[in-house]
Amino acid sequence: LDPKTPSYVTSDKTSFAYISARDRWPVIITGAIDDTYRSVMSSNDTAKEEEGKKIVEELARLKYELQHDRQLTPLRDDGQPDITLYNQELEKLGTPTWFNLPWLFSECYLYRRMQTSFSLSTCWKNYDVFARQKINTFRSSRPAVIELASRYQDLVTQMATDKSKTGPEAEEAQKILFYEMCEICLWGNATDLSLLTSLTYEDIQKLQGSEARKNSEKNILVNDLGAAYDVLKKARDEGKKERRVDIVLDNAGFELYVDLILAGYLLSAGLATTVVLHPKSMPWFVSDVLPADFAALLSALASPKSFYETPSEDEERQNKTPAPLSDKEAEQLSFLFQEWARFHAEGQLIMRPNRFWTHGGSFWRLPAEEKELLEDLKSSELVIFKGDLNYRKLTGDVAWDPATPFTEAIGPLGPGSGVNILALRTCKADVVVGLDSGIDEKLRAMEGGGGASGKREWAWSGKWAVVSFSGGK
Ligand code: F6P
Ligand code: MG
């Protein structure tokens, strides 16, 4: 069921697993404690306050156990069927301590465990402890959001005018646009948005491909976008009526925004007739999309002036007022809202949650754990997996030789699975596959790449990316 290759583990001091568990998780739990406490302080409901304080204590306890390398405790039953799966896995692993565990399982357990504190309460059941952070980051990506909104409007308008154009030049233009949109969507997953801001609409128009895109393309170590494009184009050219693309989402805010840009583009370009989005069902890896984040994004765009011109809590404290949006900017954002709201209302843009996405294991277990979901994905032309965690789950988060073919590393979801898969991933963890031989060595030898330390440090920062396709049909 799982890959035979050994997992990345929190005990390995050369892996990002160890650094995550030691340095990052305590910070994340502290953030959750602060957020909950803030909500306790601003509540005027005593029952809620009392419960909130208990949740804070539980989170503090979790942090203590992690930092003192205690055993992981079985999850308390909150009525959801995945609890049994988590606890069975824990037993199978011999109830280990925090620094002696497979990275993937321990990190999923961390978020699932936090969730039990909220789900077992009365007043905090649907509380998202990361919501503040998510919407604030979206607010602060305002320049890139506006730039993309303007480009999107131009493109959609132009595509409508160019619809009748045919011939090799028009074909090439379409393909370049597809690359462009997917690459914007890809880099939206990097925490560093600097690669995006230098792309301009003029560059796309030139069709030669922009310098900026070419530059960022150098950081894409594997690029299978051509194969994905061929699949979608073939389905369209064959006159297939229903052509679905699925996006297994990663982060809310700016990344969700670029996912919607890609979705809207695919629908407008006729490369898909429906786009199904797969969010998470509980607060997950801090920034992942919940259904409510989709609603929050749409409502921000529905009234962009009030969203961007109302000071955030931090700005209020610092007595700052955000610069006003120009009428043109507000109009461009409203255009996006109308497009997406229309697609959503007409059933072409759909959210479809499934609890499988927050299970503790990898996607190798999909056929065994969630047959219906697998069947559903089979009816899609292409399933796009966004981000680092989804890539870790596709490949099982094990120490593959980096030259292992992607199709092999995704096991049961590879050829013959009936699912066409495209992973858009900026590298933020050790696992990587599908590289030409010698690339890993070359990157390790570069400044900050890890060198002789034995660490694959180049793969931790989101600077490099892999875009891998597997034809499963
Ligand atoms: O930086 C490491 C990490 O937190 C991993 O634990 C996780 O896989 C990833 O980042 C989350 O990134 P993404 O949102 O791209 O999945
Ligand atoms: Mg994420």
73-80 CB contacts, 8 Å cutoff, 24+ apart: 75/109, 75/112, 75/113, 75/116, 76/116, 76/120, 78/115, 78/116, 78/119, 78/120, 79/119, 80/119, 80/355
Minimum-distance ligand 1 atom for the alpha carbon of 460 = 1
In 3-state terms, the chain is what percent helix, strand and coil (to 5)?
A: 55, 10, 35
Residues 6+ apart with CB under 8 A from 41: none
Distance between CA 361 and CA 21 in Å, rounded?
18
CA distances from 171 to 213, 229, 434 (A): 19, 12, 29
Q: Which residue has 């570069």 as its token pair?
A: 446
CA end-to-end span of the chain, whole Å? Answer: 21
389, 395, 432, 460, best to mutate for ligand 1 pocket (most atoms within 8 Å of CB): 389
**Secondary structure E strands in 388-462:** 421-426
Q: DSSP of 30-49, one letter per residue?
A: HHHHHHHHHHHHT---HHHH
Rounded to 10 degrees, what is the CA torsion of 455, 461, 462, 467?
0
Asked if residue 107 has its Cβ within 6 Å of ligand 1, the reply is: yes
Centre of ligand 2 to C-alpha 135, Å, is 14
Neighbours of 228 (CB within 10 A): 25
Ligand that comes closest to the CA of residue 392: 1
Minimum-distance ligand 1 atom for the alpha carbon of 103 = 6
Asked if residue 146 has its Cβ within 6 Å of ligand 1, the reply is: no
What's residue 191's pLDDT? Answer: 52
Centre of ligand 2 to C-alpha 287, Å, is 5
Minimum-distance ligand 1 atom for the alpha carbon of 429 = 2
18, 284, 285, best to mutate for ligand 1 pocket (most atoms within 8 Å of CB): 285
Asked if residue 250 has its Cβ within 6 Å of ligand 1, the reply is: yes
Centre of ligand 1 to C-alpha 232, Å, is 29
Angle between helices 46-67 and 25-41 in degrees, nearest 10: 170
Asked if residue 119 has its Cβ within 6 Å of ligand 1, the reply is: no
Distance between CA 447 and CA 99 in Å, rounded?
29
Centre of ligand 2 to C-alpha 387, Å, is 7
pTM for the structure as a whole: 0.95
What's residue 141's pLDDT? Answer: 81
Residue nearest to atom 7 of ligand 1 (CA): 389
Asked if residue 149 has its Cβ within 6 Å of ligand 1, the reply is: no
DSSP state of 463: S
What's residue 192's pLDDT? Answer: 43
Asked if residue 425 has its Cβ within 6 Å of ligand 1, the reply is: no
Q: How many residues does the chain have?
A: 473
Centre of ligand 2 to C-alpha 428, Å, is 10
Residue nearest to atom 12 of ligand 1 (CA): 388
Residues 6+ apart with CB under 8 A from 71: 65, 95, 96, 97
Centre of ligand 1 to C-alpha 24, Å, is 11
Residue nearest to atom 8 of ligand 1 (CA): 389
Centre of ligand 1 to C-alpha 428, Å, is 6
Asked if residue 18 has its Cβ within 6 Å of ligand 1, the reply is: no
- Taken in order of first residue, the domains within the chain and their CATH numbers are 16-129 (1.20.930.60), 134-470 (3.40.50.10880)
Asked if residue 430 has its Cβ within 6 Å of ligand 1, the reply is: no
Asked if residue 387 has its Cβ within 6 Å of ligand 1, the reply is: yes
Centre of ligand 2 to C-alpha 389, Å, is 6
Residues of the chain with pLDDT under 70: 191-214
Residue nearest to atom 1 of ligand 1 (CA): 428
Asked if residue 7 has its Cβ within 6 Å of ligand 1, the reply is: no
Distance between CA 187 and CA 341 in Å, rounded?
24
Distance between CA 390 and CA 324 in Å, rounded?
37
Centre of ligand 2 to C-alpha 286, Å, is 7
